[in-house]
Amino acid sequence: MRNRPLHALFGVLATLLGVAVGHLVASLLIPSSSPVLAVGSTVIDHTPHQLKDWAIRSFGNSDKAILVDSVLGGVLVLAAIAGLLALRRFAYGAALLVILVAVAAGAAVTRPTAGFQDLVPSIATGIAGVAALWWLTRAAGSRPEPDPASEPGATTVGPTRRGVLVAVGALGVAATVMGGAGRSISKYRTRPEDVTLPAAADPAPPFPVGLDDKVPGISPFRSSNEDFYRVDTRLDVPIVSIEGWTLTIDGDVERELTFTFDELAAMPLIERDITLTCVSNSVGGKYVGGARWLGVRLTDLLDLAGVGDQADQMFATDVDGMTIGTPLELATDGRDAMIAIGMNGEALPRAHGFPARVVIPGLYGFISATKWVTRITLTTYEKDRSYWTQRRWATDAPIKLSSRIDTPRAFETVKAGQVLIGGMAWAQDLGGVARVEVRIDGGAWQEARLGPDAGNDYWRQWYLPWYAQPGDHALAVRAVNGGGEVQSAVRALPFPEGSSGIQDLQVTVA
Ligand SMILES: Nc1nc2c(c(=O)[nH]1)N[C@H]1C(S)=C(S)[C@@H](COP(=O)(O)O)O[C@H]1N2
Ligand SMILES: [Mo]
């Protein structure tokens, strides 16, 4: 049967089977080593930033899916060509498949955190793909044309239509089943909701009741895991499984150490209420949130490893090779820096770093809060440059003293009479929020009432009752920290070390 479309289909089918086998093997061993994902991630990493931003804007959350689909589409065209080549000579088709697999293997072993075991799924893909192609071409009898001179009636292992159908059907089913199994395994093993967190050896005090009910429209005192702001460079959410995950401490240390999740969870854990803030937050913005974190004290881990005297940077790497650098002096100055495994009483949500992330109070997330962390290297700023440092953001960036108005919202129309102006303020690393002041229509700064105190590393709610008269009004807010420092009115953009200024908004009272 020298049917070309049929042989193109053989190539596609053999490749799909190989990819399914590889994905299944990877999901059992190391999910990121799946040939499809490895190629997809490599393409993403080499996509220029402008193109990524454009993709996020144009396709929203499906940008990554579109990219992976195009990669897969290209591979399948080559697979069809491999099927056609095999018609001419099996070795040609097999060779093209092997080249495809070699590219995927190359992508898998050069992932930033890969080792040689990451080759296994690609090898499985290659063996399965070539074997499937061989079986299909044999079932179709596509070897050199039968010699017309051969004796009539000689028994041949000749092709039958039925044989081809059976082979195609069997492989199609096998590919579907294995592909499906691989997908569901990587999706369902060690889901965050399956993790049971140990109790903290050093728990946080009972969480105070905030102003949530008292001041309608104010941000909840504790941000829920679902509503917590999310900022990262990832196009998708990495699916990291606990089984394959480890945290390594290396670089300028006496002993390089590697911990499994269970080993970390078995260490004495601290529990703290800490507010995270993004350097990209503009004055009055939403990239800030408060949660209760559970984790291993960073200095406990560093002490076990024994930090040398050369390092000035703590250089953290995530499962995909993204890096964040923190001034070592700040990370180890006694503040409650930790490797967190729990957030608000649950394992970390995947979007917030499952299974483990760095949390350091008082420093913007881009120099501290590495999600999906897998390596912490003690090094110097001279030697290693993190993702944001390469993009010229500041290396030392304490969170600036700031405050915002949650209610009323800008340009909202409110009813005349009793109104509660309310919002949040934070002064991590600066002695906490001591006072919040509100200015109405450019008048004198009036002292607002503060909500409960959950520690200096945590934000604070505030409100001011206001007897609102009809008309347009301007509202502004500023915070004062424990050291008496007043929130700066000098306007600064987020780049390179965080925004500053005072939020000023207009409301209409009717
Ligand atoms: N692996 C990884 N960790 C990361 C980032 C990232 O891009 N990749 N972004 C950082 C930034 S800029 C911030 S502000 C915080 C945000 O954490 P969240 O998404 O849990 O709120 O994560 C930090 N950790
Ligand atoms: Mo950030």
Question: Is residue 35 located within the same domain as residue 109?
Answer: yes
Nearest C-alpha neighbor of 336 from the set 294, 373, 394, 283 = 294
Where residue 293 sits, what CATH number does that domain have?
Answer: 3.90.420.10
Of ligand 1's listed atoms, the one at least distance from the Cα of 318 is 1
The ligand minimizing its distance to the Cα of 354 is 1
Asked if residue 375 is part of any domain, the answer here is yes
pTM above 0.85, yes or no: no
| CA of 279, closest atom in ligand 1 | 14
Co-location of 169 and 60 in the same domain: yes
Following DSSP, what letter does each residue of 155-199 receive, concatenated?
Answer: ------HHHHHHHHHHHHHHHHHHHHHHHHHHHHTT-GGGPPPPP
Atom 6 of ligand 1, nearest CA residue: 232
Compute how many other C-beta atoms are within 10 angstroms of the C-beta atom of residue 217: 15
70 in any annotated domain: yes
Ligand 1 pocket mutation pick from 235, 282, 324 by most atoms within 8 angstroms of CB: 324
Q: Is residue 210 part of a domain?
A: no
384 with 408, same domain: the answer is no
- Domain end position, chosen among 364, 390, 416: 390
Q: Are residues 128 and 181 in the same domain?
A: yes
Report which of 74, 28, 40, 384 is spatially closest to residue 234, judged by C-alpha positions: 40
Q: Do 499 and 474 sit in the same domain of this protein? A: yes
Beta bridge partners of residue 43, listed in sequence order: none
- The reply to whether 255 and 360 lie within a common domain is yes
Residue 278 lies in a domain: yes
Ligand 1 atom closest to residue 366's alpha carbon, by position in its atom list: 12
Contact predicate 221/461, CB 8 Å: yes
Is the Cα dihedral 99, 100, 106, 109 positive or negative?
A: negative
Tell me how far the alpha carbon of residue 231 lies from the centroid of ligand 2, in angstroms.
6
Q: Are residues 432 and 330 in the same domain?
A: no
Residue 55: predicted pLDDT: 63
Q: Which ligand sits closest to the CA of 279?
A: 2
Residues forming a β-bridge with 460 = 425
Same domain? 63 vs 119: yes
Q: Is residue 72 part of a domain?
A: yes
| Beta bridge partner(s), residue 473 | 507
Predicted local confidence at residue 217, as pLDDT: 97
Question: Which ligand 1 atom lies nearest to the CA of residue 289?
Answer: 21
Task: Quote the ligand 1 centre to 231 CA distance (angstroms).
Answer: 5
Alpha helices in 306-411 (DSSP H): 328-331, 387-390
The answer on 314 and 178 residing in a single domain is no
pLDDT on residue 31: 64
Residues lining ligand 1, judged by CB closer than 6 Å? 228-233, 276, 278, 318, 322, 352, 365-366, 369-372
- Please check whether residues 184 and 70 belong to one and the same domain: yes
- Which of 288, 357, 366, 426 to probe ligand 1 with, by most ligand atoms within 8 A of CB? 366
Quote the pLDDT of residue 244.
77
Nearest CA to ligand 1 atom 24: 370
Domain check: are 264 and 299 in the same one? Answer: yes
User: Does 65 share its domain with 108?
Assistant: yes
Establish if 10 belongs to a structural domain.
yes
Backbone torsions φ then ψ of 40, nearest 5 degrees: -60, -50
Q: Which residues of the chain have pLDDT under 70?
A: 1, 31-32, 44-45, 47-65, 111-114, 142-159, 186-190, 235-236
Q: What's the number of CA atoms in the CB half-sphere (13 Å) around residue 410?
A: 8
Domain boundary (390, 411, 443) is at: 390
Task: Write the CATH number for 413.
Answer: 2.60.40.650
pLDDT tens-digit readout, 288-341: 999 999 999 999 999 999 999 999 999 999 998 899 999 999 999 999 999 999
Q: What count of other Cβ atoms lies within 10 Å of the Cβ of residue 52? A: 17
Number of domains in the chain: 3
In ligand 1, the atom with minimum distance to the C-alpha of 229 is 21
Question: 194 in a domain, yes or no?
Answer: no
pLDDT of residue 45: 65
CA of residue 109 to ligand 2 center, whole Å:
29
Per-position DSSP letters for 117-152, written without gaps between them: GGGHHHHHHHHHHHHHHHHHHHHTT-SSPPPTTSPT
The pLDDT value recorded for residue 148 is: 47
> How many angstroms does the Cα of residue 403 sit away from the middle of ligand 2?
17
- Residues 220 and 289: their CA atoms lie apart, in Å, by 9
Nearest CA to ligand 1 atom 4: 370
Q: Which domain holds residue 178?
A: 4-148+156-188
Closest ligand 1 atom to residue 277 Cα is: 14
| Largest Cα span, the chain | 110
Smallest CA separation from ligand 1 atom 19, residue: 230
Token readout for 234 is 């990832």
Q: What is residue 83's DSSP assignment?
A: H
Centre of ligand 2 to C-alpha 276, Å, is 9
Residue 346's Cα: distance from chain center in Å?
17
Look at residue 238 and tell me if it is in a domain: no
